[in-house]
Structure formats: structure tokens, C-alpha cells
Amino acid sequence: MFPVIHRFLPAILLTLLGLGLATLLAPREIVEVRDHLTGFPDSDATAHLLRPKILAVLCLVPALAAFYYGMVGAIDRYLIRNFMGAFLLCFSSLYAIWLISDLTNNMGNFRESADTFAFMGKYYLATFPKVFVEFAPFGLLLAMLYSLGKLSRGQEIVSIIQTGRGVARLISPLIIMGFMVSLVCLGFNYRWAPAASGYQEALLEQAEMGALSKARNVVYSESDERRLWLVGIFPYEYHRGEALKNVIIRSFTPEGKPESRLEAKSAEWDRETNNWTFTGVSKWDMTHRLDMPDGSIGPISPKLEKNIQDPLIKTRWPETPWKLIKPGLRAEQLGIPGLYSWLVQNRTSEWGNKRRFLTQWHYRWAQPAICLAIVLLAAPLGIVFSRRGTGGGIALAVFMCAGIMFSSTVFLALGESGYIPPVWAAWGTNILATTVALLLIQRRLVGRPIYQTLRKLLPA
């Protein structure tokens, strides 16, 4: 009984830790979802209401991997220990390199913040999902090459195969671990990794300029009210009442001619009354015409209105900060719920680049799957039966990984430009990598050399 308890003890501890973390994070996410749906009532509520549940499941993925570890046999546990230990080491090394580089580039901005260490903790905690999604495939690649290469040099793989296990059975527990890492990437990609990119830029801007902005130079047109908004600085936490900065509002007549121009240093929206309060106000009458000496009507000359109220309060305006920010949102910084809501709302619109948003939506699902493709690709390159060593496999894997990065960039550009369907643009790299991986695995299964086959494909 005690060996069984000892085997499942990590899973039990990780389950308790995951439940505690989910209890802490899920209620906060529920509040964020409610705020979002209040401001964006036309968003897809189902997709956003899944966010707290996905966050809770994400906290329990390590426990799920630990339970799988406790259920498998001794050989599989040995392989998993070697692989996951190498993955943690490789990912930590990659993260440390990125951290040092980022600190070097942004230390000046960090020092300008009020509390440097608290700001740095907030910054790196917010950016971790994005960095994990970006570096996890490379960590898996290095971990597969290192752990399988080490087992190959020690003739342990040959010994395991002599027990009756084939190559496919040998790497199956490692594929399951790669699937677990893919689940974490998929959970982060649902909302938090894309949002971290925009939040990272906003935090650096806050440290440098003292303002945390969601977007800049946002343009919004309210056709029913015949108003055109130009917002210079859009605060990141606009949903909590932060004021918009450097606002210009142009009003038009029913015939489409300019009627007035309102400029304000700040604009605040009251959630309770739906009133807009403008401060630092200047207003011009765009219908004023000059009087000509001959008594005729001259050209339009904007006239500055005097004695205008400051602050100026406007009631019953249908515009809300959520409506204004929509044109300033970038597809790369939206998660699956945000992209899906945008596509549904703009299904019949002709002004938006729907290909870009649709490609990014498919890419949110496809990007985590590259982890599995990387595991499949690295497995036959890490397993070596000859004295040649693993140097060639490492060099080839690094070359293929660079090719995957290049392929992903090209496919996305082609999809967003309309040259290929968005679904193929998002999944094209995965399909190519998986096809090459299966071919290499097939060569390894039948005992044929991989490098001679690849050498034949190269020009003499």
C-alpha cells in the first residue's frame, strides 16, 4: 500500500495546489468576464464564460500529468522522469536567457516606476503565459534530444527495446507528456497569452510615461449620431473608469457636412448614468462662414465658441468606452473569445480585415499543437543505435526548428493576405512538421538510416 501512496503522492499534492490556485484565480476571472460582458453586451457570452472554467482546468493539468505518471509502469516512469527533468531544465534556461535580455533592454523603464521590484514582479507575471507558449516547443525539442541522446549513449534504449518494446511504445509516454504541455499552451492561448502581449507594451509605457494605455490614436465612427471620435490615448483599465486622453469629436449634419469640433484633454464615462464628462474643453462651430465685403456668403471659417462649460457633460450618448476601443484592438492581442466575438459581430461588415482575425482565430488552436509535432519530430532524431552520436540529430533538429519558425511566419502572412484559406495558413506548419516526423519515425521503425535518406534529398 505504501509504494502506491508514494507513487501517487505528487499527484495528490499537485491536485491540492491546483485547487487552491483555481479557488484564488477563478473568482477574479469571473469579475473580469462580467465587466467585459457589461461593456460588450454583443460579445459571445458562452465563449467568455468559459474563461474561469478553463483557468481552473489549467491549474489542474500538472496534477493530471502526475496521475498519469503514477499509473504507468516503472520503465515509463523512468523515461518520463528523464524527459520532464530535461524539459524543466531546458525551459528554465531559455526563460533565463530571455529574462536577462529583457532586463537589459527594459531596466531603464523599470527604474522610472514608483516601486521598481513590485512593478517588475507584475510585469514578468503578466508576460509568463506569452513566454511559455513561445518557448515550450523549443524546450520540448531540446528535452527530447537531450534525454533520448543520453539514453542512447548509455545503451539504455537498446536494453528497453530488448524487453519487447518497440520504438513507438518507447516514445508513447513522452508523447503524452508533450500533449500535457500542449494543453497548458492551449489554455494560455485561449485568453492570457495573446492579452499578455498588449499588456506588456502597456506596462512599459506606464513605466516610461506614467500612463497605462490600451491603444493609441483610436478612430471610431457613430453613424447613427453622426459623430467621429479620435482618441489619442486609450487607458488600459478603461472599464474601471479611467479617463480617455486627448479626445477629438467631430459632429456632422444629416447631409454629411461638418457641424462642430469638440476637443478635450480628458473624457470620463460614468457607468451608472452613461454620461460623458469632458474636461479641458475647446469647441469650434464648423458651420460659421465669413461675411464678404460685397454682402455675399464667404467660405467656412471655424469659429471658437466662448463661455463653454468646463467640464462639459453630455447625456444620452450611446457611445461607451467598449464601443470606442473596438477599432483599436489588434488581432494578435485577442484570445479565442475576443476573436470569435469580433468575427460574429463583423460577419457582414466590409471595412474590417476579416481574413486577419479569422487566421489568428485558427492559429490560437493550431499553435499549441506544434508541441506534439516537435515531440514527434525530435524522437527519431534523438534515438541513435550507432556510434555516430547525436550531434547530427541535434544539428538537423535545430535546422528543422528554424524551418518551422520560418514556415509559420510565411503561412500566417499568406493567410492574412488572402492567398490561402485561413485554416490552412494556421495549420499548414503543423501538417508539414507532422508529415516529416512520421516519415522519420517510419524510417526508424524499419531500421533504415535517416541521414542517408535526407542526404539523397540534397543536391550533390
Q: Three-class SS string for 286-317?
A: CCCEEECCCCCEEEECCEECCCCCCCEEECCC
Query: How is residue 22 written as a grid cell?
Result: 483555481
What percentage of the chain exceeds 70 in pLDDT? 82
- pTM for the complete prediction? 0.81
Mean pLDDT is highest, among 7-21, 152-166, 314-328, 394-408, for 7-21
The SS3 assignment for 353 reads coil
CA–CA separation, 174 and 160 (whole Å): 15
Query: 185 and 87 in contact (C-beta within 8 Å)?
Result: no
- Integer angstrom CA distances of residue 181 from 385, 433, 457: 28, 18, 33
Give the number of residues written for the chain: 460
Examine the pLDDT at 2 and tell me if it is beyond 70: no
- End-to-end CA gap in the chain: 63
Contact 195, 337 (CB under 8 A): no
Q: What Å distances lie between residue 379 and 375, 376, 427, 428, 433, CA to CA? A: 6, 5, 21, 21, 13
- Do 232 and 245 form a contact (C-beta atoms < 8 A)? yes
Peptide linkage before 311 cis (omega within 30 of 0) = yes
- Could you give the CA distance from residue 312 to residue 203 in angstroms, rounded to a whole number? 31
Classified as helix, coil or strand, 262 is: strand
Q: What is the pLDDT of residue 82?
A: 92
The alpha carbon torsion through 200, 206, 211, 213 (nearest 10 deg) reads -10
pLDDT tens readout for residues 319-328: 877 777 766 6
- Strand-strand pairing, 258-269 and 282-285: antiparallel
For residue 282, what pLDDT band results from cuts at 50, 70 and 90? confident
Output the pLDDT for position 59: 94
SS3 (DSSP) at 238: helix
Mean pLDDT value across the chain: 81
Say if residues 377 and 394 touch (Cβ distance below 8 Å): no
DSSP element (H, E) containing 403: helix 391-417
299/290 Cα distance (integer angstroms): 6
* Range with the largest mean pLDDT of 91-95, 306-310, 326-330, 446-450: 91-95
Say if residues 198 and 211 touch (Cβ distance below 8 Å): no
> What is the C-alpha to C-alpha distance for residues 440 and 387, in angstroms, rounded to an integer?
19
**Mean of pLDDT values over 52-67:** 94
- DSSP state for residue 218 in the 8-state scheme: E
Please count the helices (runs of H) and the strands (runs of E) in the chain: 13, 10
If we measure between CA atoms, which residue out of 427, 370, 456, 300 comes closest to residue 136? 370
C-alpha to C-alpha distance for 364 and 335, rounded to whole angstroms: 7
Q: What is the pLDDT of residues 228-257, one digit of tens each?
A: 888 877 776 666 667 888 888 888 888 777
Kindly state the cell numbers that stand for 72: 504507468
Higher pLDDT, 300 or 246: 246
Q: Which helix (H) or strand (E) holds 75?
A: helix 74-111
Cell for 355?
A: 481574413
